[in-house]
Structure 1
Amino acid sequence: MTLLTYQVFKTVADIGSFHKAADILGLTPSAVSHSVSALESELGFAVLNRSKSGVTLTNYGEHLLPYVNAVLNADESLHQFIAETNGLKQGKVKMAVFSSVCTNWLPEILSSFHKKHEGITIEVFQGTYDDVSYWLKNGVVDLGFLSVSAAKDIPIEPLFRDPLLCVLPKGTKKSGKTMTIEEMRTHQFVTQRESTDADIQNFLKENKLDVQSHYHVVDDLATVRLVEKGFGICLMPELVMNDIPYEVDTYPVEPAAARIIGIATMNPNFMAPAVRTMYRYIIDYYKRI
């Protein structure tokens, strides 16, 4: 098996199409198909399901992909090390982010980083906490922003404390500067899936808030829009509310709570030079804000 074989398999798995993978790799569809077939013949098992609707990973393929990613990442690390040794600062960093980091911080980070390190390419993947964790564990990305509570067993460097706020329809609360647990108990909630707001779910559980909700959404904008229209209240990190255009009221929760945002990587002691450069840049960046 060659690195090209691994790259073909990864690209087809990511894209779900032999033809599209061929376009990306600059190969013919028949060459891509032959490469995958040769891989399967050498392995002794099928790695892809072929159908008219597209291509998907078999169970064996799903287990193989993280190892293929590790090989390709190691090859990238080797090339970066050689370039660094020869005095060249170049390479690629694959980074995962969740929504509020993507909109609030990422543009400035990418812009300022590129001015200092023009030879390093950054590839960005946006998703939920669960997506970021999956991508990190399976070698799809090198670095990922996560909340500390969502990281679990993934090594993470804490960076930023993001307070939790209670969001209410405008004019709902008549007095007080905070929103207490007892006050929250009297309201219907608009909630999100646990993969989207693990820290909020933890806050609810820790304070024995058995919330009643008929609205289970994923998108932050949709959640707050429902609150604005009077369908309930919700909890949101302060950073999220920076992106919200709707007319609602926000109050710090009591007891005070926050999510801790950090930068995570599976191997903090073994990173490719470009990845290490970005990792250190992000840590220094948050020391300044």
Structure 2
Amino acid sequence: MTLLTYQVFKTVADQGSFRKAADILGLTPSAISHTISAMESELGFSVLNRSKSGVTLTNYGEHLLPYVNAVLNSDESLWQAIAEFNGLKQGKVKVGCFSSICTNWLPSILHSFQNEYPGISIEVFQGTYDDVIYWLKNGVVDLGFLSVSSAKDIPIEPLYKDPLLCVVPKGTPKREPEEYMGIDEMRNHQFVTQRESTDADIQNFLKENDLNIQSNYHVVDDLSTVALVEHGFGICIMPAITMNDIPYQVDCYPVKPDAYRIIGIAAMNKEFMAPAVRTMYNHVLEQYQQEEWRKG
């Protein structure tokens, strides 16, 4: 099989359509179909299910895709290394991130990096923590922003300590005058919660402090969560960075005991990064890693 075969397979898998893959690769649908058929014949098993609604990966195809991604990423790394030997900074970096990083950090990162390295392109994938973990492990992205607690077995470099806040409807009376929200006072409120894959750090905070809440609202995105809080459906816990660009009228209090999520940049194999990926990785460290971890 050739690199073109691998590229065709990956593109069809990503797009779920022979025609869409053909448009992206500049080939005809029949050429795409022939390439996949030849690949399946050589492998001895089917990698795609075909139907009128499109194509999906077979079980064999799902297991094969990470290896195909690894081959394509290795080829990209080779050409980036050749460009580096020739004094050029070229290539592509694929970055996975969650919502609040996408809205708060990423625009600045993209601007500063592309001003310094115009020959390196960046492809961005936004999703939940679980999405970023899957993308990293399956070679879909080169680098991923995660919280340290969500990364688990994925190597991650800590960057920033992000305080957790208790968010309540504007003007909500407080039982105590202090400028924070304690656990006992939180117990008196209904909560709006997000799915655990969306922000595991918040779920950890609730569990660690025995806040066994019963919530009727299980949402995914930050805006929906805070919108429900604004309209009086409950309170929520949110990282401080997330609240930077929330337009709703709410009050925010530091939580007691103090709690944080630690944001980091993750990569599966730091020792074997492609030159462009390593350049991006170091750029993020220089721009966002706090002094406490630089010293460490």
TM-score by length of 2: 0.96
Query: Counterpart of 1:13?
Result: 13
Query: Counterpart of 1:248?
Result: 250
Secondary structure in 1 aligned to 2:133? helix
Query: Counterpart of 1:197?
Result: 199
Query: Counterpart of 2:3?
Result: 3
Secondary structure in 1 aligned to 2:94? strand
Q: Following the alignment from structure 2 to structure 1, what is the Cα–Cα distance between the partners of residues 221 and 278? A: 32
**1:249 partner letter:** D
Q: Following the alignment from structure 2 to structure 1, what is the Cα–Cα distance between the partners of residues 237 and 117? A: 38
Residues 95-134 of structure 1 show CA distances to partners (whole Å, capped at 9, x for unaligned) of 1111110110111111011111011011111111000000
Query: Counterpart of 1:238?
Result: 240
Residues 134-177 of structure 1 show CA distances to partners (whole Å, capped at 9, x for unaligned) of 00000000001000011000000000001000000111133221
Secondary structure in 2 aligned to 1:113? helix
Query: Counterpart of 1:102?
Result: 102
Residues 46-85 of structure 1 show CA distances to partners (whole Å, capped at 9, x for unaligned) of 1111111111111110000000000000000000001101
Q: What stretches of structure 2 of length at least 5 have no aligned partner?
A: 292-296
**1:56 partner letter:** T
Query: Counterpart of 2:75?
Result: 75
Computed over aligned residues only, the root mean square deviation of the Cα atoms, in angstroms, reads 0.9
1:34 aligns with 2:34: yes
Q: Following the alignment from structure 1 to structure 2, what is the Cα–Cα distance between the partners of residues 242 and 287? A: 19
Q: What stretches of structure 1 of length at least 5 have no aligned partner?
A: none
Query: Counterpart of 1:142?
Result: 142
Query: Counterpart of 2:173?
Result: 173
Q: Following the alignment from structure 2 to structure 1, what is the Cα–Cα distance between the partners of residues 139 and 169? A: 42
Contact residue 160 and residue 289 of structure 2 kept, 8 A: no
After TM superposition, where is structure 1 displaced by more than 3 Å over at least 4 residues in a row?
A: none
Query: Counterpart of 2:131?
Result: 131
Q: Of the candidates 206, 212, 215, which is equivalent to residue 214 of structure 2?
A: 212
How far residue 288 of structure 1 moved from its aligned partner, in angstroms, is: 7.2
Residues 252-289 of structure 1 show CA distances to partners (whole Å, capped at 9, x for unaligned) of 00000010000000001110000000000000001479
**1:104 partner letter:** N
TM-score by length of 1: 0.99
Residues 195-216 of structure 1 show CA distances to partners (whole Å, capped at 9, x for unaligned) of 0010000011111110110000
Query: Counterpart of 2:294?
Result: none
The 5 A counterparts of 1:218-229 are 218-229=220-231
